[in-house]
Amino acid sequence: MNRDYWRYFDYWLFGSVIILCIFGIAMIRSAIAGNAVLMPLVTRQAIYVAVGMVVILGAAFIDYHYWSSLTRVMYIATVLFLVGIFVYGTARYGSARWLDTGLILIQPSELAKIVVILVLSDYFSRTRDRPRDLRWIAQSFAITVGVVLWILLQPNLSTSIVIFVLWFSLLWLSGLPAKYILVFVLLVIVAAGILFPFLQDYQKQRVVDFIFPNQNALHGNTYNVDQALITIGSGGLFGQGYGHSTQVQLRFLKVRHTDFIFSAMAAEFGFVGTVLVIGLLIFVMLRGLRAARLAADLFGSYIAYGFVVLMFFQTAVNIGVNLNVMPVTGLTLPFISYGGSSLLSMVLGIGLVESVISRHKTL
């Protein structure tokens, strides 16, 4: 088995992730722009990357079928962690999303994304012969809501949307009848209208600012997005050079090492540089689709598809926010933005994909 494991291990996928992570560390270092308070984040991200490489190899070495027998335990543990966040979480930026361990802050909602992929993949693979009726849909929805409810209470709307996207994507891949798709679209529109008044004030403000931007408010609610657009435009075709963007180094661009790191990247490396990085991210997704296509069973295929959906959605939303084509969210750019929990959840997903592809000829 060890020989087969290394024989089918996707070195192209692993190497691409390493490159993205190293580039992310470099971009975080530049984006911090000499801020003494934030400088330790560079070292911390490097440690997370080192741990992440071990996580990839460890998750890849474990047979992914093993997780099928633990989905119920993982689901319950995830819900308990999220309940713990709701009761004892450390409040930051107006929400309680972190557990303070004394050494590091852990964001369980990030790891919940991977757990949901595993749990739903197991559910849909086990029910592959069941009728695609409302009961089948409702059971998968109940599984998803059991996690999303506690994430919404943090409040964390963006992660909740991500998990619902994962659910619907796997539902569709599992054979959702076309007649239900229009019903889902109508339900989403109605639900959005009903739930909007119950959102947090800052969440409603982000939506309002996106739809009705105040062009005269130079330092208003749209300041970050306005500066992001200026920063992207300043990069031109080839960029101003690493560590030489005036928008970044003079700190006009805020949250530049997390949500708006794409803008910092565009300023320093220009259109050509961003296209290369996006191309590498797409390459990682294509390797994930390859793993899904070659998987030995539906469980493995759904795991790989689920991770690709997760990575695509986060990448598209993060870049979309930077380009001001969608409201501001807190979703990071995979492997590049600063964030330990986010990075570890992504590398764990890569490890699971590697486990799937490494065993695609073992059954």
pLDDT digit string (tens) for 286-325? 999 999 999 989 999 999 999 999 999 999 999 999 998 8
pLDDT of 3 > 70? The answer is: no
Distance, CA of 99 to CA of 97 (rounded, Å) = 7
**What integer is the mean pLDDT of 334-339?**
94
pLDDT of 253 > 90? The answer is: no
Is the bond preceding residue 155 a cis peptide, omega within 30 degrees?
yes
Highest mean pLDDT pick, 74-88, 175-189, 280-294, 348-362 = 280-294
β-bridge partners, 96: 91
- Percentage of the chain beyond pLDDT 90 is 58
pLDDT of residue 93: 46
Kindly give the residue spans of alpha helices, DSSP state H, lying in 174-297: 179-195, 201-211, 223-234, 246-249, 261-294
Confidence of residue 97 (pLDDT cuts 50, 70, 90): low
50, part of any domain: yes
Between 245 and 285, whose confidence is greater? 285
Confidence of residue 165 (pLDDT cuts 50, 70, 90): very high
3-state secondary structure of 90: strand
Reported as type and span, the H/E element at residue 105 is strand 105-106
Q: Which two tokens stand for residue 278?
A: 């996006």
96, part of any domain: yes
363, part of any domain: no
75, part of any domain: yes
Residue range of the domain that includes 198: 2-358
Indicate the number of domains in the chain.
1
Between 93 and 125, whose confidence is greater? 125
Average pLDDT of the chain is 88
Give backbone dihedrals phi and psi of 57, rounded to 5 degrees, phi first. Answer: -65, -40
- Percentage of the chain beyond pLDDT 70 is 91
Confidence of residue 6 (pLDDT cuts 50, 70, 90): confident
- Name the residue with tokens 């200026």: 230
Angle at 63 between CA 62 and CA 65, to 5 degrees: 135
pLDDT of 102 > 90? The answer is: no
Q: What share of the chain is helix, strand, coil (3-state, %, to 5)?
A: 70, 5, 25
Between 123 and 188, whose confidence is greater? 123
193, part of any domain: yes
351, part of any domain: yes
Per residue in 168-222, pLDDT (tens digit) is 999 999 999 888 888 888 888 888 888 777 677 777 777 877 777 765 555 556 7
120, part of any domain: yes
**What count of Cα atoms within 13 Å lies in the side-chain half-sphere of residue 347?**
27
